[in-house]
Amino acid sequence: MNRNDMERVKALVRNIPDFPVAGIQFKDLTTAFKDPFALRAMADAMAELYEGRGVTKVAGIESRGFIGGALLAAKLGAGFVPIRKPGKLPADTISMSYDKEYGTDVIEMHRDAITSDDVVVIHDDLLATGGTMLAAFKMVKSMNPKAVYINFVCTLKGLNGRAMLPAEVEVTSLFDFDGK
């Protein structure tokens, strides 16, 4: 992974104060996603992290996790599994509720999306408090895949979301922000 490229991508992320609620400093990655260089650099850097690991599925968390997750799946020659808000998937689902920094939510995944033969990367754009990813991890693990990895484009180090995730799972991100 080219550190200069990631610094260039990081510089494209804009801050939105008080979104979605007062007191939250939202990191908006859409400004990086719309930049062709940044999008390609993120996809290449993520794929480099998982090359040769036998990844068969990438599960992306709605909605920004769909962008990086689909890119990563395509780069690795893997399938893509959407993890969505309730009522958005047409077939039989499993669900998990979780707490997040500004409320409670639920996510779902198709019950037949992952098998015991799969090696899965769960992807989201940003690690904040870790609640959403922990719920996604528990859902994916309940399907008994061979291995599970967790990936983010970026991490908000000040919120210590990594501590929420199981110590035995490998968690990667392309770059960090020091604040909250």
pLDDT tens digits along 120-178: 999 999 999 899 999 999 999 999 999 999 999 999 999 999 999 999 999 999 999 98
Q: Please check whether residue 71 lies inside any domain of the structure.
A: yes
Query: Which listed residue (7, 48, 51, 101) is catalytic?
Result: 101
- pTM of the shown model: 0.96
Instruction: Give the pLDDT mean for 34-58.
Output: 98
Q: Please check whether residue 46 lies inside any domain of the structure.
A: no
Query: Which listed residue (3, 40, 62, 64) is catalytic?
Result: 64
How high is the pLDDT of residue 101?
Answer: 63
Q: Please check whether residue 121 lies inside any domain of the structure.
A: yes
Q: Please check whether residue 43 lies inside any domain of the structure.
A: no
Quick check: is 14 catalytic? no
65 neighbors 83 (Cβ within 8 angstroms): yes
Q: Please check whether residue 45 lies inside any domain of the structure.
A: no
What digits encode the pLDDT tens for the residues 93-128? Answer: 999 999 766 678 999 999 999 999 999 999 999 999
* DSSP assignment letter at 90: S
Q: Please check whether residue 58 lies inside any domain of the structure.
A: yes
Q: Please check whether residue 38 lies inside any domain of the structure.
A: no
Neighbours of 53 (CB within 10 A): 13
Provide φ and ψ at 29, rounded to 5°: -80, -5
Expressed as residue numbers, the domain containing 127 is 54-177
Q: Please check whether residue 13 lies inside any domain of the structure.
A: no
Quick check: is 3 catalytic? no
Q: What total number of domains does the chain contain?
A: 1
Task: Report the CATH number at residue 135.
Answer: 3.40.50.2020
